[in-house]
Structure formats: structure tokens, C-alpha cells
């Protein structure tokens, strides 16, 4: 299932709590949970995927722009020049 669809389903279910006769404190807690889940699920997609194991070492050990342009990068055989 797509991550966006999961986010919409979670928010749709949590939005029905507005129709329940709860105290204001309970509504505030549910709002905080919904806000945190939305934030977490929208930001996790940037570090979520099958190819992340290939790209994280490059981002952690990125060299200067001049080294990459000179073709002396440690990753020159693994990735294309335009990507680096």
C-alpha cells in the first residue's frame, strides 16, 4: 500500500474522534498524536526505500565539488558523474 494512502486512512480515522463527546484534553492528545503521525509518516519516506543502502554511504562520505569534477571520487565507479 502506498504511504500516502496510509497517512490519509490514519487521519480519516482520527478525524472521527471530533464527533465523540470527549473532554478537551482528550481531543488535544488525539490532535497531538495525529500531528506527530502525519509528520513522522511524511518525513520517513525520505529515508525509506530499497535503494537506501546504496545512497547513504555516499551522502555520509561526500567529497568536495572539485574532487568530484576532477574524477577522483571514491564512488566514481559506483555512481554516474551527474548524480554525484
CA distance 37 to 53: 25
Query: What pLDDT sits at residue 41?
Result: 83
CA distance 21 to 27: 10
CA distance 23 to 40: 26
Q: Specify which of 16-25, 32-41, 73-82 reaches the highest per-range mean pLDDT.
A: 32-41
Q: Could you tell me how many residues make up the chain?
A: 84
CA distance 42 to 44: 6
Query: What pLDDT sits at residue 60?
Result: 75
pTM above 0.85, yes or no: no
Amino acid at each position: 500500500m502506498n504511504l500516502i494512502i496510509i497517512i490519509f486512512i490514519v487521519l480519516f480515522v482520527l478525524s472521527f474522534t471530533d464527533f465523540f463527546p470527549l473532554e478537551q484534553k482528550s481531543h488535544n492528545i488525539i490532535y497531538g498524536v495525529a500531528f506527530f503521525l502525519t509528520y513522522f509518516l511524511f518525513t520517513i519516506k525520505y529515508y525509506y526505500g530499497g535503494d537506501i543502502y546504496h545512497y547513504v554511504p555516499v551522502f555520509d562520505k561526500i567529497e568536495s565539488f572539485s574532487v568530484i569534477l576532477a574524477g577522483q571520487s571514491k564512488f566514481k565507479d559506483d555512481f554516474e558523474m551527474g548524480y554525484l
